[in-house]
Amino acid sequence: MYNGRSIKRVNQMGPDESRGNVVGTGFEWLMQIAYLAGKSLDLDEAMPATLEAMAELIPAEHVVLLQLEGDTMEVRARRSRDGGVGAISNGAFKRSVESNPCALDMVRVGPDQKAPQLPYLMNAGSDGAVALTIPLAVDYVCVGRLDFIRGGSAEEFQGWERHFAQACARIVALAVRNGAEYARVAWLAEHDPLTGIGNRRNFDIALNRELARAERYRRDVSLLLIDLDDFKEANSHLGLSGGDEILRRTARVLAERARKGVDISCRIGGDEFAMILPEIGETLADDLAARLVKDVAQATMSLWPMRFSYSISTYPSTSAEFLRRAADAKLMAAKNRKGRVAIPARGAVP
C-alpha cells in the first residue's frame, strides 16, 4: 500500500526507472487516493489529505483543486509546499487560477463526439513555472479542474506523472460531483428553496440551540414572528409567480437586516416568517420588528399593498418551554385586534 517512503524512493529515481516502479505500484497508490477522496462527502474534509497524497508522488509547488460554480472556477482546496492555504500570492499559482479557460472546452464533448487527444495542458510562465492542468468531468459534464504547478526553473512533467495525474483526476472528479450533490442536499435540508433562508427544520434546531445557550449564560433571546395578512388575496390577484416574488422580497429584507452570523431568519410556513434574535430584549426586538415591517412593506409595495402582523416573545420574560407558544398566541391576538399591523398605502409607508 501507499506509504511515504516508497513515494520518496520513486521521486529519487530517474525517468526510466521510475516509470517501471509506477507501473508496478500505481494501483496501490490510486487505491489510497480513492480511499482518501471518498473518506468524506464533505470536500473540505476529504480534499486536503487527497491533494497531499498526490503531491507526495508528483512533486509540485502547488496542487490546486478548482470547482466549477456557475461559469467560474473557484478554488476549493489547495496544497502548497510551504503549507499555505490562505490568500493567493504566488505568481504561478495566481496565473493557474485566473487563466487557462480552455481546460473547460476540453471536456465539452458529447458521447458521440471524439474526445480530445491530450487530457492535459502544459503552461510555462515568464518565470519558468510549469503547470499541469487537468479538467475534471463526469459523464461529459465539467465539475472542475486539477492543477499541479511547479515554480521557476522547474522541469516539465514526465509521461508517467501526466498519466498518474490523469488517473487521479478521474477519482477526484467523482468525489467533487458527489460532494457537490451532498452539499446541495444538505443545504435543502435546512433552507427554503424559494427564498433561500432557513426552513422550519432550521428554525426548530436554531431555536432550541439559542434557548439552551440563553439559559446556560443567562442571556436574552427574542423570537419575532411575522405573518403576511393579505398574502392569499395578493396571490389570487398576482398569480403564483407574483406571490412567490412577495415571499422572496420579504425574505430578502429579513436576511439583509439580520446581524451576520448572529440572527437567524426562517420561513416557517406558507406566509409566516420568523427571526431568532440572540442577545436582544423585548424592547429592542419590538423596535426592530417595527422597522422590519416597514422595510418589507416598502419592498413589496410595487406588487401589492400588503398588511403584516407580528409578535415578540422574549426569554427570560417568557420561559424557554413556552417561548414559541407565547409568540404564537401574541401573533393570533395581533391578527384579531390589528394592534401590531402595518397597513401601507401605495406610495406611503407608516
| Whether the Cβ atoms of residue 346 and residue 306 lie closer than 8 Å to each other | no
pLDDT value, residue 287: 93
**4-188: CATH number:** 3.30.450.40
Lookup result for grid cell 479542474: 145
In whole angstroms, give the CA distance from residue 51 to residue 2. Answer: 14
- Helix runs in the chain, H state only: 4-11, 15-37, 43-57, 91-98, 102-105, 159-190, 200-217, 231-257, 282-300, 323-337
* Below-70 pLDDT ranges, the chain: 1-25, 82-128, 152-154, 338-350
pLDDT value, residue 4: 39
158 pairs with which residues across the strands?
none
Contacts (Cβ under 8 Å, ≥6 apart) of 302: none
| Whether the Cβ atoms of residue 316 and residue 253 lie closer than 8 Å to each other | no
pLDDT value, residue 192: 97
pLDDT value, residue 205: 96
Q: Which residues of 158-174 are buried (b: 16+ CB within 10 A; e: fewer)?
A: eebbbbbbebbbebbbb
pLDDT value, residue 255: 96
Q: For residue range 41-53, what is the model confidence (pLDDT) as tens digits?
A: 999 999 999 999 9
Superfamily (CATH) of domain 200-342: Reverse transcriptase/Diguanylate cyclase domain (3.30.70.270)
Identical fold between 4-188 and 200-342: no
Q: What does the domain layout of the chain look like in residue ranges? A: 4-188, 200-342
pLDDT value, residue 172: 96
C-alpha dihedral, 140 to 141 to 146 to 152, nearest 10°: 80
Q: For residue range 75-123, what is the model confidence (pLDDT) as tens digits?
A: 899 888 766 543 334 444 455 455 544 444 444 444 454 444 444 666 6
pLDDT value, residue 102: 40
> Which DSSP symbol is given to 102?
H
